[in-house]
Structure 1
Amino acid sequence: MAFEGLSDRLQETIKKIKGKGKVTEQDVKEMTREVRLALLEADVNFKVVKDFVKRIRERAVGQEVMDSLTPGQQVIKVVKEELTELMGGNESKIAVAKRPPTVIMMVGLQGAGKTTTTGKLANLLRKSYNRNPMLAAADVYRPAAIQQLETLGKQLSMPVHAEGTDADPVDIARNAVARAKEEHHDYVLIDTAGRLHIDGDLMGELQQIKDAVNPDEIFLVVDSMTGQDAVNVAESFDEQLDVSGVLLTKLDGDTRGGAALSIKAVTGKPIKFAGMGEKLDQLEVFHPERMASRILGMGDVLTLIEKAQTQVDEKQAKELESKMRNASFTFEDFLEQMEQVKNMGPLDEILNMIPGANKMKGLQNVSFDDKQIVHVEAIIQSMTKHERQDPSLMNAGRKKRIAKGSGTSVSEVNRLLKQFEEMKKMMKQMSNTKGKKGRGMKFPFM
């Protein structure tokens, strides 16, 4: 998970100061020292760390914090605000041309995931913004790039303008924009050539394309796994092309977070989107405040709700709530819910969006393996319809048959049955609490 090491260190550091009735300058000094070490370990630019820690220290020892009733919480508020500002402050909106199409140039080095990200962005524009984009294959040096973009176009049922490997990339870009106008596409995304390293030929060609089509946005696609190198790449591209924003890929991977926390401060250019997985719907708008909340263990309820809303049928959700209230929730309902949750992304990522989930008893050190879901599904699918609706029918013979049919053991079947009953009790309690008090815990799919 992105930022995992940094997140753990920062949460451990601020926990020491959170409940303090009085915060001294020495407390702040020790905290900022730990914050500094955590950021440096996360591969954040040294100058960025120095400035960041200085701002926290200045604000944390100010009268506003020291004189407050909850100084520890005020210090945490300062850290969150500064972390948010470090990553750009506010969500950066995507440009819209006065006269369509809006032209977006996608640039970056080979291996950063530029072509796939081009497809993801087009998909996001259509699904979330109700746009009608077209893709353009202007990387003529890597034949696989053209084929890859055409394959993505087929998967998304979206047109791709391609002229083969012998055409001039500048002409391809210019022709793509002209075609987009004729066919009334409101966005055209140009997948330009990358290199293994930055060179004069690459930059010269990109500058020619920029001059030819006058793009509304130039998005630099950066691999967040490369840490400080990503920041250096961003600086070089920005100097040559004046990029308008950065798209970070692989932010769901084992990345320390240095790129995400350094790029805006070093280049002045905002992170616009972040790739959170390999699927074509796993590109998110980058919200600095939400990301700061995730890093500090405060969750990210808004993104969780947005994910749920795209995956959940409202009518089904109401029926489910009713079943939870009267404890008639069955394994068939559970199977449906698992499918919807799976579509929202990896379980550990979802858990990190729930405020305080990392502190819940029994969940602190739990690692979620999505393969476990496959085992659970196999067990449920090996049950008969009657067994799914009424687990009390289960006897030794039925359990043995289900274990054999699902490729699992009887003990795994027993464990699932026990967990299911406990979950039903918990759901009913939560529903009752909500009913009595008019509020209470509510599942994201409800």
Structure 2
Amino acid sequence: MLSKTQKNFLWMIAEKTIGVVGLFFINALVAKYLGPVVIGQIAIATAIFQIVQVIGVFGSDSIFYKRISINLISGIQLMMPIFMLRSIIFIFFASVCIMFLNVRMDLTGMTLVLSICTAYYFYTIDTYTSFNESLLNSRVNAIANVVGLIFGLLARALMVRYKVPIIYFGLPLIMISAIPYFLKSYVFRKQYKGMVTVKYNVLKKRLFHLSYAGSILVIPSIISSIYPRLNVLIISFLYGNHDVGIYSVSQSIATSWSFILLSLLTSCLPSVFREKNNQKIIRVGAKLHLNIILLSIPVMLVITFLVNFAILYLYGESYKESIAPCILLCFSTLLSTLGMASSKIIIKFSGYRFLLWKTIFILVLSLVLSYFLSIRFGLMGAASAVIITEFFSLTVINYLFMQGFILLVHIEMFKIIYVYFRRVFGMKKLDGS
């Protein structure tokens, strides 16, 4: 009989698998139709609004997740203040970005920008996903997201089939984010009707609390969101939209499997946050890190062997330069998820100030490495910069927290591996004798 955590994990995996497989084939079809330059424009706009999304969330995701895990009713009553705060911040920063992009793009480009902006607004205000995940009820997320995805992918496929003008290709992006949002909202309100209502004085107090607590968390979150996308912005600055389109294909394939690791991480987080004994936290954290690595190895091997065929057959010859960076970026996906696991342990101990200074340093390191390695080695240099940055962030910098607490987690992970191999090879020796 599967536990609730295992069922939740499987639902998350099922949803993301359908999404990734569908997006992989349809995106390849769209990329082939639109070409690297337009794909590059979409990639730049997406990178910008992903950063705006993080600013809009304003660090409230960790606060909300923690509150829901401890007190359900209190967490539900936090949803309205979160919605208001996220909407105000997102609309302000999105407007600034749209004015900036309007100077650089034509009518077609700006239409795509507005569509991407609208799509990311729905992602920003969506607290229902975190709510369902914290209650290990990812079934609702899975069904809603798959419905939205089917409509969005079907619309994209029909647009390519009937050669619809590029200006309309932003509509499926809105469908993929808006449909799941309204479905999850409907299910939530049906189940928890009346519990979201908050008095004005309480609303004001909670908005102030979110603004204060979020201001500590938002800067590390913004910096963390910038440095994975820094390469796209630097490549755009150095080489233009064509190379951005090539690199974005590498990046999308290399990160397409991260949902497996993130689903595992999300499902295991409640057990990390509930634990109070430091030794047990080290043990749970070590097992989480190890499971992430074990899940990664077979996927990375499959991508390494099949990426050449996948890109040339599905995307076409114009994207063949995506192959080599894609293999490197696969490894960075693993390092990034391990870094997220370590960061959640740091958040468990309220190490927000440490994360702030760490992410500022990592952003500067990433900027320097990305710029100089991109100039020297092109797209391969950009991919290498991501790996070096993620490795440094995961190990050297994290080891400074709480006199090496994360180092103890990593040592415990290696101890588990050592004990396992010793047991296996010890048994073989006994069998041989």
TM-score, normalising length: structure 1: 0.30
Q: Which has the larger radius of gyration?
A: 1
Instruction: Write 1 or 2 for the structure with the bigger share of strand.
Output: 1
Instruction: Write 1 or 2 for the structure with the bigger share of helix.
Output: 2
